[in-house]
Structure 1
Amino acid sequence: MIVVLYNYHDNGDPDVPASSDLIDEIRSASRQIVRELGFMDPTLAGTAYSASAVHALLEVERRESMTAAELVQVLKLEKSSISRMIGKLVRAGELAETAGAGDGRVKPLRLTSQGLRTVAGIHAFARGQVTVALGHLNPTEQQAAAQGLSAYARALAARHPDAGETPQAPIEIVAGYRPGWIGRVAEMHAAFYSRHAGFGQFFESAVAAGAAEFSGRLDHKRNRIWSAVRNERIVGSIAIDGEDLGNDQAHLRWFILDDGCRGGGVGRRLLGEALAFCDQTGFAATQLWTFRGLDAARRLYEAHGFELIKEAPGTQWGSEVIEQQFSRRRPGAGA
């Protein structure tokens, strides 16, 4: 029997519409975040100021100085609201107007010494909130929360392309073994498939053992690993095993992305790298095994030339699924 490691549900197609249930879940979570962080209160972050005033202080600190017009753009508030808020913060001793270069009508705002102390307190308060919340999550969930929130913030900001938001660090596709690859592959598989298929310890152990065994064969020219890497952390993986199937067949294995990285095309990039390697190396065909129900992943595979050739019930991982085998022949290869 061929030992199979399943592939993940990669929604790499940005044109796939979000389901109504997903939209409602995100809206519900957003409302809870607003309540838990205190945005429903008249003041925020342990200060005597409103949420908009707190954010104004933080933005002025981040940029060292800002004009009222710049605050209008960044905070997305009306000019009259910004003017009243600035006046209140200046009178409270948090902000000071400075002379503008070349135009006396433009008066950039800077934090006073009192304002610097206030902002330091805001940072301490907010970091405390985040630290306590993250204490209820395991490391994988912490990473998923950070990546998911960053991705969602970018998606919201995409409606305003001139907002000047700082982009998140890009994801690089890197070939070859990287320290930590075995553990991250096992971790990402276990986290995803425990939720989506009920797979448990046996599955995680099999993934780790298989990845460890394969890593010892990477000196073979027909074996290759690619990792998706962000800020030196492995957030995705794919591998081609050119030995285990024989008969000039490539085995696509350990195709997985971390939570929070799906939907941005990283899966397409990984798959494209792996299949280009298969074609350049001259494999007659590439095989992969997955299971029924991962519809977006199936669309991704079929878009890259894979065809479903076999499916049957299986329970080898402790939960019954309909196992599927997909096959892709090298373009130009004979039948």
Structure 2
Amino acid sequence: MTVQDIRSFNRFYTNVIGALDYGRHLYAPYTLTETRVLYELAHARRTDAADLRAELSLDAGYLSRILNKFEQDGLIERAPSETDPRRRRVGLTPRGRDTAALLEERARESVSVLLDGVSPDDRPRLAEAMRTIRTVLGGDRAPRAEDVVLRDPAPGDLGWIVQRNAAVYAAEYGWNADYEGLVARIVADFAEDHDPHLERVWIAENAAGRPVGCVMCVRDEAPATARLRLLLVEPDARGLGVGDRLVEACVGFARGVGYRELVLWTNDVLAAARRIYRRHGFVLVGEKPHRSFGKDLVGQDWRLDLLGPPH
């Protein structure tokens, strides 16, 4: 491979991306760079100006002008960092989250149009080629917490939730297909009938574009109560704080849309998950032995009061 090979590919791919936006105004009224900043604010773990600058390799003055524009448009709010008063924490407002979601939806629709022209037989080969480029040029380094982003589910992700829950719990706890059936019903109920304003799914994605975790927030039968479901972190992504970020996203969403309580059901053998719940303020309110998934377990009900101060 030569330098010219890479430059030629860059020109080709730039033309492809430009064709996607031809006459469609995907990012209007924002530039591509402004859209990237919105994406990072919606998905990245770190949300102060210094981290945004480093992550996107932006000039400090340029980023400041972007953030000022966003603040004037009512998309962000800024406040002193809770851990370092020299830093400014940047967060999306409800209008900002809606704008970021709209821009992402436009981008997905545009890529779907591009994929319509790719035969089903060629799509796995295309995906593998993209993964190869990212792996080779990204270097062989250990996973980092900042490489993981939280995003909405894409086509196929709900099926991934079912498959990985079944596989991981079978491998680590010996649970049988009854658990897979339970997860499939939960996911199918969400897919068929959910209120996007009150219910949501998050997928944690690593730098290679692979899902490494998930969680769901759905309405509970009790009034003004949400339920956290199907928290999962892949074994190779543990230790990066992914579980904490997923639970934090669920709690923040539930509190933001007006639920009074967030509840969950788990089992005593899931010690790592229980530690995460406790760190985020959940309280154990009940236990009951049961025989499920081919094992004798102790089910636990946990509760978080969302009207109290954030934990």
The two structures have a TM-score, normalised by structure 2, of 0.50
Partner in structure 1 of residue 271 of structure 2? 295
CA contact (8 A) 2:175 2:295 kept: yes
The answer to whether 1:240 aligns with 2:217 is yes
Query: What aligned pairs does 1:84-123 form with structure 2 within 5 A after superposition?
Result: none
Q: How far, CA to CA, are the matches of 1:300 and 1:166 in structure 2?
A: 27
Residue 173 of structure 1 aligns with which residue? Answer: 150
Instruction: Render the CA deviation track for 1:100-127: whole Å, top value 9, x for unaligned.
Output: xxxxxxxxxxxxxxxxxxxxxxxxxxxx
Query: What SS does the aligned partner of 2:252 have?
Result: helix
| SS in structure 2 at match of 1:177 | coil
Hey, which bits of structure 1, 4+ residues long, moved more than 6 A?
Answer: none
Say if 2:225 and 2:261, in contact at 8 Å, map to a contact too.
yes
Distance 1:215 1:276 in 2: 22
| Aligned partner (choices 297, 300, 307) of residue 283 of structure 2 | 307
Q: Distance in 2 between matches of 1:238 and 1:217?
A: 17
CA deviations 1:123-171 (Å, max 9, x no partner) are: xxxxxxxxxxxxxxxxxxxxxxxxxxx9xxxxxxxxxxxxx97464711
Aligned partners of 1:195, 1:233: CA distance in 2, in Å?
Answer: 20
CA distance in 2, matches of 1:253, 1:320: 21
Matched-pair contact (CA < 8 Å) for 2:226–2:261 = yes
**Given that residues 173 and 228 in structure 1 are in contact (C-alpha distance below 8 angstroms), is that contact kept between their aligned partners in structure 2?**
yes
Task: Report SS of the residue matched to 2:236.
Answer: coil
Q: 1:178 to 1:292 in 2, by over 3 A?
A: same
Contact between 2:178 and 2:292, CA under 8 Å: does it hold in 1? no
Q: Distance in 1 between matches of 2:222 and 2:255?
A: 16
Contact 1:177 1:215 (C-alpha < 8 Å) held by counterparts: no
CA RMSD of aligned residues (A): 2.2
**Per-residue deviation at 1:206?**
2.1
| Post-superposition CA distance 1:277-323 (Å, at most 9, x none) | 01111111111111113223222111101010000111132311000
Residue of structure 1 equivalent to 2:174? 198
Q: Does 1:267 align with 2:243?
A: yes
Match of 1:161 in 2: none
CA distance in 1, matches of 2:142, 2:274: 30
Q: How big is the shift at 1:269?
A: 0.8
| Distance in 1, Cα, partners of 2:227 & 2:181 | 20
Deviation at 1:246, TM superposition (A): 3.0
C-alpha displacement of 1:249: 0.8
Q: Is the 8 A contact 1:245 1:251 kept in 2?
A: no
Structure 1 residue aligned with 2:9: none
Deviation at 1:325, TM superposition (A): 0.6
The question of whether the paired residues in 2 share the 8 Å contact of 1:238 and 1:270 is answered with yes
Partner of 2:192: 216
Kindly indicate whether the alpha-carbon contact (under 8 Å) linking 1:239 and 1:255 is maintained by their aligned counterparts in 2.
yes
Q: Note the alpha carbon deviations across 1:196-250, whole angstroms, 9 max, x for none.
A: 33211121122123212212234441111111012222211011002x4231110
Tell me which protein shows more helix as a share of its residues: 2
For the 8 Å contact 1:217–1:223, the answer to whether it is kept is no
2:153, 2:231 → 1: CA distance?
Answer: 15
Inter-partner Cα distance in structure 1 for 2:254 and 2:271: 24
What's the secondary structure of 2:235's corresponding residue? Answer: coil
1:183 is aligned to 159
CA distance in structure 2 between the aligned counterparts of 1:166 and 1:204, rounded to whole angstroms:
34
Distance 1:312 1:165 in 2: 46
- Give the structure with higher Rg (CA): 1
How far apart in 2 are the matches of 1:187 and 1:232? Answer: 18
Q: 1:311 to 1:168 in 2, by over 3 A?
A: closer
Mapped pair 1:279 → 2:255: yes
Question: Matched residues, percent identical?
Answer: 30
> Quick one: which amino acid aligns to residue 258 of structure 2?
G
TM-score (norm 1): 0.47
Task: Report the Cα offset of residue 178 of structure 1.
Answer: 1.4
8 A contact 2:218–2:229 mirrored in 1: yes
Higher relative contact order (CA 8 A, sep 6+): 1
User: Structure 1 stretches of 5 or more lacking a match?
Assistant: 1-149, 151-163
- 5 Å-filtered alignment, 1:67-82, equals none
